[in-house]
Amino acid sequence: MLGRIRFRYAPWLAVLLALAATTAQAASLEPFTADYQASYLGMQATGTMSLAQEGGNRWKYSLAIRNQVADVSQNTVFDEHQGRLRPLSSSDRSAAVFKKKNVDATYDWKAGTATWSGDVKPERRGPVKLQPGDMDALLINLAVVRDLAAGRPLKYRMVDEGRVREMEWEVVGKEAVTVGGASKQATKLVRRTDKREMLVWIVPELPVPARVLQRENGMDTINLVLRSVR
């Protein structure tokens, strides 16, 4: 989800991507691969997100978006600890016109700190002190669907690239969406800042968002529409 696809022009989109639909009580995470029809600043793109078990209680969430001007990939390895999704490491790779970026993160829960390396400013390399429940951008996406199903507040503390941010999503209603040629009822969520607006449509029976739309300064910048899930 929903969270922060980094074309570097939209640093927090991936906060919304890849919402893996699990119930609050629990349902175990299930592997998936989802394909999206995407557009970035009006240009066609392809999008893929997946969740795979790494072994034991470890999982890997991956996101990739590509078109003629950008190639973005993100991965987060995490586990589930005391009912919470807990980041262990992540990587962020992006290549766009005239700009490339590579950032790696380590979440050391024994030491209680998070650190970053690669193309990140010195003041944002950490360490940042962790608190129980802290997540990176992608894991918040997993938690949103779980908490939405349970009727819990959609409020989170994101620890990413040397910064701590409080995040909150608002339910703005129901809306019909089309997935694979079929109309489905979705819950529409929104998160707003001064310049950006992120909207996500969640269908209960789907493990990923049916649609993700980002707007900056009133202009649509990224639009993802689900094509298939396997």
Q: Is the pLDDT of residue 113 over 80?
A: yes
Q: Is the pLDDT of residue 56 over 60?
A: yes
Q: Is the pLDDT of residue 66 over 90?
A: no
pTM > 0.95: no
CATH number of 2-229: 2.50.20
What pLDDT is attached to residue 41? 67
- pLDDT band of residue 127 (cuts 50, 70, 90) is very high
Minimum mean pLDDT range among 21-35, 86-100, 177-191: 21-35
Q: Is the pLDDT of residue 159 over 60?
A: yes
What pLDDT is attached to residue 52? 95
pLDDT tens for 178-228 read: 988 889 999 999 988 777 888 999 898 888 889 988 888 878 888 889 999
Q: Is the pLDDT of residue 68 over 60?
A: yes
- pLDDT band of residue 26 (cuts 50, 70, 90) is very low
- C-alpha 201/C-alpha 198 separation (Å) is 10
